[in-house]
Amino acid sequence: MAENKSASFEASLARLSEIVAELEREGVELERAVKLYGEGRELVARCEVLLKGAEETLRAAAAGLPAAGAPTPAEDDESPF
Protein backbone atom coordinates (compact mmCIF):
# COMPACT_ATOMS: atom_id res chain seq x y z
CA MET A 1 0.00 0.00 0.00
CA ALA A 2 2.73 2.48 0.88
CA GLU A 3 4.12 2.23 -2.65
CA ASN A 4 0.89 3.71 -4.07
CA LYS A 5 1.74 7.42 -4.09
CA SER A 6 -1.68 8.33 -5.50
CA ALA A 7 -3.68 6.72 -2.69
CA SER A 8 -6.32 8.95 -1.20
CA PHE A 9 -6.04 10.31 2.30
CA GLU A 10 -8.90 8.06 3.38
CA ALA A 11 -7.32 4.93 1.90
CA SER A 12 -3.96 5.77 3.46
CA LEU A 13 -5.55 6.40 6.85
CA ALA A 14 -7.53 3.15 6.65
CA ARG A 15 -4.36 1.19 5.88
CA LEU A 16 -2.56 2.94 8.73
CA SER A 17 -5.36 1.86 11.08
CA GLU A 18 -4.96 -1.74 9.88
CA ILE A 19 -1.23 -1.57 10.56
CA VAL A 20 -1.76 -0.21 14.07
CA ALA A 21 -4.29 -2.94 14.83
CA GLU A 22 -1.90 -5.63 13.63
CA LEU A 23 1.01 -4.21 15.62
CA GLU A 24 -1.13 -4.09 18.76
CA ARG A 25 -1.86 -7.82 18.53
CA GLU A 26 0.35 -10.17 20.45
CA GLY A 27 2.68 -12.47 18.61
CA VAL A 28 3.69 -10.26 15.68
CA GLU A 29 7.13 -11.39 14.60
CA LEU A 30 9.87 -8.79 14.80
CA GLU A 31 10.60 -8.81 11.07
CA ARG A 32 6.91 -8.30 10.27
CA ALA A 33 6.62 -5.55 12.90
CA VAL A 34 9.59 -3.69 11.44
CA LYS A 35 8.12 -3.95 7.94
CA LEU A 36 4.73 -2.70 9.14
CA TYR A 37 6.36 0.15 11.06
CA GLY A 38 8.19 1.27 7.91
CA GLU A 39 5.01 1.14 5.87
CA GLY A 40 3.20 3.08 8.57
CA ARG A 41 5.83 5.83 8.57
CA GLU A 42 5.48 6.17 4.79
CA LEU A 43 1.70 6.41 5.15
CA VAL A 44 2.01 9.07 7.85
CA ALA A 45 4.27 11.10 5.55
CA ARG A 46 1.78 10.67 2.68
CA CYS A 47 -1.13 11.79 4.87
CA GLU A 48 0.85 14.85 6.02
CA VAL A 49 1.49 15.84 2.39
CA LEU A 50 -2.18 15.42 1.51
CA LEU A 51 -3.30 17.40 4.55
CA LYS A 52 -0.85 20.19 3.77
CA GLY A 53 -2.19 20.37 0.21
CA ALA A 54 -5.77 20.50 1.46
CA GLU A 55 -4.85 23.22 3.94
CA GLU A 56 -3.23 25.30 1.19
CA THR A 57 -6.31 24.89 -0.98
CA LEU A 58 -8.57 26.02 1.86
CA ARG A 59 -6.36 29.00 2.65
CA ALA A 60 -6.40 30.04 -1.01
CA ALA A 61 -10.18 29.68 -1.13
CA ALA A 62 -10.58 31.72 2.06
CA ALA A 63 -8.38 34.43 0.59
CA GLY A 64 -10.35 34.40 -2.65
CA LEU A 65 -7.44 33.06 -4.68
CA PRO A 66 -7.76 30.20 -7.15
CA ALA A 67 -6.28 26.94 -5.94
CA ALA A 68 -3.22 25.59 -7.72
CA GLY A 69 -4.31 24.13 -11.04
CA ALA A 70 -7.76 25.74 -10.91
CA PRO A 71 -8.73 27.78 -13.95
CA THR A 72 -8.68 31.53 -13.50
CA PRO A 73 -11.86 33.50 -14.23
CA ALA A 74 -10.39 34.59 -17.58
CA GLU A 75 -9.93 30.95 -18.57
CA ASP A 76 -13.50 30.15 -17.51
CA ASP A 77 -14.85 33.00 -19.66
CA GLU A 78 -13.20 31.79 -22.84
CA SER A 79 -16.06 31.09 -25.20
CA PRO A 80 -16.25 31.06 -28.97
CA PHE A 81 -19.44 33.18 -28.81
CA angle 56, 51, 1 (to 5 degrees): 140
* 7 confidence band (pLDDT: 50, 70, 90): confident
Buried b (16+ CB within 10 A) or exposed e, 33-71: eeebeebbebbeebbeebeeeeeebeeeeeeeeeeeeee
Q: DSSP state, 25?
A: S
Q: Is the pLDDT of residue 15 over 80?
A: yes
Q: What average pLDDT does range 19-23 have in this prediction?
A: 97
pLDDT digits (tens, 9 = 90+) for 23-70: 999 999 999 999 999 999 999 999 999 999 999 999 988 888 766 665
Q: Is 72 exposed, middle or buried (0-12, 13-18, 19+ CB in 10 A)?
A: exposed
